[in-house]
Amino acid sequence: MEAVKCLSGGASLEANAESVLRTITPSLDPTRHKGQAGKIAVIGGCREYTGAPYFAAISALKIGADLSHVFCTEGAATVIKSYSPELIVHPILEESYNISGVNDEGKRDISKKILSEFDKWMERFDCLVVGPGLGRDPFLLECVSKIMTRARQSNVPIVVDGDGLFLVTNSIELVSGYRLAVLTPNVNEYKRLVQKVLGCDVNDQNTHGELLSLSKQIGNVTILRKGKSDLISDGEKVQSVSIYGSPRRCGGQGDILSGSVAVFLFWARQCNSAAERESTISRTNPTVLGCIAGSALLRKAAALAFEHKKRSTLTTDIIEHLGQSLEAISPAS
């Protein structure tokens, strides 16, 4: 597959994103059954933040995943359910304020119960998105850490965004060396990662080399550094996606990206499996392909939404253009 062109050693080339999208997007096939196009789970949603997990989960469905779950706190569940009946919502997470009178042993029991509830579903998921609207409650983050560890043990891909990056930055061992993990930091989240892992400030004069080093230091975890051009590295190469999107920078676009990357990552893994059997597709890191496709599609959808709504463009407008943007590149067959 000539879809991905790259140079090692810190150099970067623009990814052939449209070719990646065409290659990894599966055709609509009436012989396939529910679930084969992807089952995505979003871990996030608390009292303060209910929009972010919804944006990530509904974006996965709009792109073409068959099922989308949200694991959140009880206080967020009813709100998220009210946004869309398409989502399967699990109110299993707990925040400290809800268990303030519980002793340490009781908290351990609650944590075990949460993990047990998630375990019932784990084997059904093709990818997890950890972080949208998660918040920073200590008990909640502790439980999510255990969920991530269990997912890693089960070889389930993990896309980490938002408050999930806060968690990972402070507990880098959660993803270190896990080649099925993707981190999607914005400028501030990236700065904290660099300071924590490399022990220095961001060097804008060596953007590609620094990103390459950061990924290598975390054990070749794939990092999608969001910016004017999105930069993607798995510690072996650096790719960029510079398709023009929208000058309107409304909140929530990162949540669309995390849900999109999750779906495309799964589809890329399916392509790689087919390549092993048929030898027709070059084997390329599926996490990198997922990032390229997710970045490109978000930018194209944002551009379309801005054409229609201009300054009033919102995240919900961009989500409504995801399907149209994908079909324009990779028409259903």
Q: Does the annotation flag 249 for ligand binding?
A: yes
- pLDDT value for 331: 62
d(CA 196, CA 186): 15
188 known member of a binding site: yes
Average pLDDT, consecutive stretches of 10 residues, N- to C-terminus, the chain (333 residues)? 43 83 91 90 96 98 97 96 97 93 93 96 96 97 97 97 98 97 97 97 94 97 97 96 93 97 96 60 82 97 96 97 88 55
Q: Is 311 annotated as a binding residue?
A: no
| CATH assignment at residue 296 | 3.40.1190.20
Residue 283 confidence (pLDDT): 66
Give the CA distances from residue 301 to residues 146, 304, 312, 313, in Å, rounded to whole numbers and listed in that order.
Answer: 35, 5, 15, 11
- What is the residue-wise DSSP string for 16-72? -HHHHHHHHSPPP-TT--TTTT-EEEEE---SS--HHHHHHHHHHHHHT-SEEEEEE
Q: Which residue has the tokens 């009292």?
A: 47
Distances (CA, A) of 208 to 12, 182, 291, 301: 7, 17, 16, 26
User: Is there a binding annotation on residue 251?
Assistant: yes
Do the annotations mark residue 229 as ligand-binding? Answer: yes
State the Cα–Cα distance between residues 69 and 54, nearest whole angstrom: 10
Separation between Cα atoms, residue 40 and residue 230, nearest integer Å: 23
Question: Is 247 one of the annotated binding-site residues?
Answer: yes
Residue 199 known to bind ligand:
no
Q: What pLDDT was estimated at residue 220? A: 97
Residue 38 counted as an annotated binding residue? no
pLDDT of residue 217: 97
**Is 12 assigned a ligand-binding role in the annotation?**
no
- Confirm or deny that 253 is annotated as ligand binding: yes
Q: According to the model, what pLDDT value does residue 5 have?
A: 46
Is 101 annotated in some ligand binding site?
no
Range of the domain at 268: 4-329
226 among annotated binding-site residues: yes
Q: Is 290 annotated as a binding residue?
A: no
Beta 222-225 vs 238-241: how paired, if at all?
Answer: unpaired
255 is annotated as contributing to ligand binding: yes
Q: Is 171 annotated among the ligand-binding residues?
A: no
How many structural domains is the chain composed of? 1
* pLDDT for the residue 100: 87
Is 186 marked as binding a ligand?
Answer: yes
pTM over 0.85: yes
